[in-house]
Amino acid sequence: MSATLLTLTLILFRGINYQFCFFIDDTPYTLEVNQDNFDNSYQFGEHTSDNNIWVFNYPQNNILRKITHDGNIVETIYLQNFFSNHVYTTQNGSLLSISNPYRELWYFNKVQRRWSQTGEVLGWLGTWSVDEKDGVIMIAEYCRDTDPYARVFRSKNGGASWDIVFYQRARGSESPEVRHFHTIQVDPYTGHWYLSSGDRRQESKIFKSKDDGDTWLDVTDYNLDPSLPPALKTQSLFRLTTFWFTEDYICWATDDRINNLGAHLVISPRTEPLDVIVIGRTSYNEVRSAIEYPNIGWLLITENRTGYAGIELTFVTKDLYIIPLGILEGITDNFSASIASKRADWRDNEKSWVGYSLARGVIPRIMRYKLKQNLKLQVTSNIHLEDEIIIIPKKDCGYTEGDIVNIQVKEKPGYIFTGWEGDFCTSRKNLTVEITKDIRLKAHFYPIDMEPDYKVPATFSLTLFLLTGLLASLIFIYVKTRYTVQ
């Protein structure tokens, strides 16, 4: 597989709008990053499984609205007696949210249409620190430095009640094991749960549960591959805020600029302990979010707290090729904030995949990531005279369905155009084409004064001369005899 970045276009108009164009296996894609999509008062909360978005009414954050991709309001829910910027939709349609600043876990019963306190107080990081499988929900706690424990909470009744199934000593204890938990996710291929912690090197670990949280195994690879460069041979490789999964590997990009070398893409087969492989550098800043674009790859989004003064975007293909896209300049603070779409939605009317992330400090506080596979127009010639073919408009990163393209042929001196071969067979020099699929055309030119590819042999020339002379003699004799007889 080949994976290359072609071009970057920046447009500034009433907001942030970037276009990144890149190729995967010669297929062109365009990623549009657009900040200016919704009401300026909306703060992104969650991308739901029914292709909608939960948003809060920033800055009050006491109203939760479900909106469509086009910004139309589907549902409005008032937060009773608390404020929040975290929300999670359970498989049965109920909601979970954590209050600001008291960290109380609230439960919204969709049948009774009311909020109730669960009695639990905990810290919650974002999208990847809560997950669900067959009605079992688990939350990994992003606790404070003064808390003695970082805990994993589990609910077996859709979020109405909870118990603690795992914990590690945190920095508020005398002998801390971790600082806090970052992420807990279900592996869709095995049904096993993976849990990560941070932040210092020795606090960065991965745990695994095969029985929905009853028991946990530390699967951190403490014996790293000795062939790794010394700067990368560190437990900081296990500092992460999001996993993603393929059939063969669990994958992540580090939430750590490994020894100031940048964040790296790490994969491992499902061994116990893990057997990590470092694929390569993804960015300089720490990676916070990984949005899946099904059957294409994952979009990695960094934060901007200690590194570059901008947000870095990287695309990792399904075959784990790394394509650094570029930097969103001038955006400060924790831009993506680990709150983003886990998986992009397909929008049939736009023929594109759409995902989102929270953009803290940037108004409106929603960033949309729209990925579109473009159509190809491939125009060649039989003798490499492509410079004599004019394409208007010429788009190096492919075309959108419905685009109209004019193709004109100039005849270079010494050559004559004879026609087109491919999806259109015609002798017309100029074509107007509507792009409805990938199109391939080959222009045929004939060189007028080209020397023959072979020379006539001398013996053949002599024979031809003698035969011509003999034929002329016979004609002369015939004519002379005829007139003599008359």
The rounded average pLDDT for each run of 10 residues, N- to C-terminus, in the chain (486 residues) is: 52 64 94 80 90 92 94 94 94 95 95 95 92 97 96 96 98 97 98 97 98 98 95 97 97 96 97 98 94 97 72 95 87 70 93 90 79 94 85 91 92 87 91 94 84 44 59 63 53
CA 335, 62, 145, 127 torsion: positive or negative? negative
Q: What is the pTM of this model?
A: 0.86
| Cα separation, 366 vs 36, whole angstroms | 8
Question: Quick one: 36 and 178 in the same domain?
Answer: yes
Question: Quick one: 135 and 87 in the same domain?
Answer: yes
The length of the chain in residues reads 486
Number of compact structural domains in the chain: 3
Query: So what's the pLDDT on residue 9?
Result: 44
Backbone angles phi, psi at 4, to 5 degrees: -135, 150
Question: Quick one: 362 and 426 in the same domain?
Answer: no
Query: So what's the pLDDT on residue 387?
Result: 81
Question: Quick one: 410 and 309 in the same domain?
Answer: no
Query: So what's the pLDDT on residue 12?
Result: 39
Instruction: Choose the final residue of a domain: 352, 373, 394.
Output: 373
Question: Quick one: 336 and 402 in the same domain?
Answer: no
Query: So what's the pLDDT on residue 10?
Result: 44
Q: At 11, which CATH number?
A: 2.130.10.10
**DSSP 3-state of 211:** coil
Range of the domain at 464: 454-486
Instruction: Choose the final residue of a domain: 373, 398, 421.
Output: 373
Residue at 369: amino acid letter: Y
Question: Quick one: 169 and 96 in the same domain?
Answer: yes
Question: Quick one: 366 and 217 in the same domain?
Answer: yes
Question: Quick one: 284 and 415 in the same domain?
Answer: no
- The set of residues, in sequence order, having a beta carbon less than 8 Å from that of 212 and lying 6+ positions away, is 133, 136, 138, 154, 193
Question: Quick one: 394 and 304 in the same domain?
Answer: no
Query: So what's the pLDDT on residue 455?
Result: 41
Cβ pair 294, 287 in contact under 8 A: no
Instruction: Choose the final residue of a domain: 355, 373, 391.
Output: 373
| Cα separation, 357 vs 37, whole angstroms | 12
Cβ pair 298, 244 in contact under 8 A: yes
Cβ pair 146, 127 in contact under 8 A: no
Question: Quick one: 386 and 459 in the same domain?
Answer: no
Question: Quick one: 300 and 412 in the same domain?
Answer: no
**Torsion, CA 325, CA 346, CA 107, CA 182, rounded to 10:** -30
Question: Quick one: 441 and 459 in the same domain?
Answer: no
Query: So what's the pLDDT on residue 485?
Result: 45
Which tokens is 78 given?
């008032």
